A and B are shown apart, each in its own frame.
Chain A
Amino acid sequence: MIEIKNISKSFGDRLVVDDVSFQFEQGKTNLIIGESGSGKTTIMKLMVGLHEIDSGEVLYDGLNFPTLGVKEKQEVRKKIGMLFQGGALFDSQTLEENVRFPLDMFTEMSHAEKIDRVNFCLEKVQLAGKNDLYPGELSGGMKKRAALARAISNSPQYLFCDEPNSGLDPKTSIVIDNLIQSLTKEFNITTIVITHDMNSVVEIGEKVLYIYKGKPWWSGNGKEILKTTNPELLDFVFASGFMKEVFNAVKGK
């Protein structure tokens, strides 16, 4: 489990994250949603230590991450898998080398064991047999799946996904969502997903935190969000007329 307690962050005079607290539960798909610029990605970067927090605590199973020393932070980070918005695959490495990379760095597995693990991860993300392709040869959806394979290759306890569906068509988005959810359940991972995609929120949001102007504004699950009376959240959820029409049609039935 990961818990954030009263975390705040400013860039210059601009308060980007304002006293946010939340518990991200193990074995569940925890979502952070909000408008662009609301501070979602900053919260994630604060949690993984890419930004330093101004105040508050980030507890990884009780360990306050920001106060740990360099070595202790590295030990926690070895348990983290992260799927970046653009994939962040290493361009100069093949898919196999990318997925094998955390194993090369942190395990004493034999080469055969590593290849078995790589093939297992690639199979999980439906990229079996694509070992020798380079990131430049992959489509957007394949890159995301490959990055997911790399993120899970070293059996992480915590999985962070930064807008895993951005730039993908609805069908591929569903594939990615289902993958994230099934991996979370199968390996009992604490998964945190940042998303704008309302379909993802409803389908896989077991615990949802809505951030509005850097503040925690609403929390619940993906089903509850459709019944909310919170005006800012309603604006966010039904920003598109299409979503509203679909919701009304379903309600009418």
Chain B
Amino acid sequence: MNLFFHLGRYFILIKRVFSKPEKMSVYGKQIIHEIDNIGISSLPIIAIISFFMGGVITIQSAFGFTSPLVPLYAVGFTVRESMLLEFCPTIVCLILAGKMGSNIASEIGSMRITEQIDALEIMGINSAGYLILPKILAGVVILPFLIAISMFLGIFGGYVMGIATHAVSSYEYIYGIQAFFEPWKLYYSFTKVITFAFLITSISAYFGYYTHGGALEVGKSSTSAVVYSSILILIFNFLLTQLFLT
């Protein structure tokens, strides 16, 4: 029953979010602001994690591929496949669900408890559209770029670590990351990223928007935003993988 209540309220909110904006120019500025706020500020953490994860996957793969039947370029191949198919689109989005999700829910939740959302409503502004639409659009626009950077840095990190630890040669690694490449996998990855971006921003905004009470409830909303975004990312990851790969 509770699930249906939240689902119904979520879809009603989404309908309000996508209703016609009062003034497009103001929304445009908000989108740019949100791209910076929720996207660009996430770049350092994504860069560090991706670089080191690429390195670790390289070393682990080289350590595991002991059979002479497995060519050493398989290390580069493994890093590329791991980064493109799962690590960057899913694991990085899970990390971003924590960072962006709590940020969005606490920001909107704080605005709710300090009557800033009521102030917007009384001015005659569709508060759901004004506050949430720019976040969703910013997330859907910027996350694919962040994930593309993450993919590049992950593969680059694997190269640097592989060379530095002598786990793999430069030639074999570069040959590996180019071997058996199928472009549709990028289509699959970025479809996942755009879906996850929508889920993270809209679910977090939903929990923030319906915060009631005080600071304690804002904290609870942030936690719920991260938990439910993460669970839905995992569920949609499974569904999209089934859809694309079977």
Contacts and interface: CB of A to CB of B under 8 A. Distances in A.
Contact of A86 (B23, B115, B122, B125): B115
Interface residues of A, number: 25
A77 B115 contact: no
A77 B124 contact: yes
B122 A48 contact: yes
Contacts of A186: none
A88 interface: yes
A50 B23 CA distance: 23
Given A84-B115, A86-B114, A77 B22 contact: no
A73 B125 CA distance: 10
Interface string A160-176: 10000000000000000
Interface in A114-171: 154, 160
A74 B124 contact: yes
B26 A77 contact: no
Contacts, number: 55
A84 B124 contact: no
A102 B123 contact: yes
Provide the main secondary structure of the chain A interface: mixed
Nearest to A80: B122
Contacts of A91: 110-111, 114, 116
Interface string A72-91: 01111110101011101111
A106 B122 contact: no
Nearest to A48: B122
Nearest to B113: A86
A3 interface: no
B118 interface: yes
A78 B115 contact: no
Interface centre among B118, B121, B124 (most CB of A within 10 A): B124
A73 B121 CA distance: 10
A50 B121 contact: yes
B124 A50 contact: no
A105 interface: yes
Contacts of B124: 73-78, 80, 106
B45 interface: no
Interface in B117-151: 118-119, 121-125
A84 B123 contact: no
Given A88-B114, A88-B116, A90-B116, A50 B122 contact: yes
Interface in B17-62: 22-23, 26
Contacts of A160: 122
A105 B122 contact: no
A86 B122 CA distance: 15
Contacts of A49: 121-122
A2 to B, nearest CB: 14
A88 B123 contact: no
A104 interface: yes
Nearest to B123: A102
Nearest to B107: A92
A125 B138 CA distance: 37
B124 to A, nearest CB: 3
A204 B116 CA distance: 27
A15 to B, nearest CB: 21
Interface in B84-115: 110-111, 114-115
B119 A88 contact: yes
A253 B122 CA distance: 47
Interface of A: 48-50, 73-78, 80, 82, 84-86, 88-91, 101-102, 104-106, 154, 160
Given A88-B119, A102-B123, A105-B23, 16 more contacts: A49-B121, A74-B124, A75-B124, A77-B123, A78-B123, A78-B124, A80-B122, A82-B119, A82-B122, A85-B115, A86-B115, A88-B115, A90-B119, A91-B111, A91-B114, A105-B26
11 contacts: A73-B124, A75-B124, A78-B123, A78-B124, A82-B119, A82-B122, A86-B114, A86-B115, A91-B114, A105-B125, A106-B23
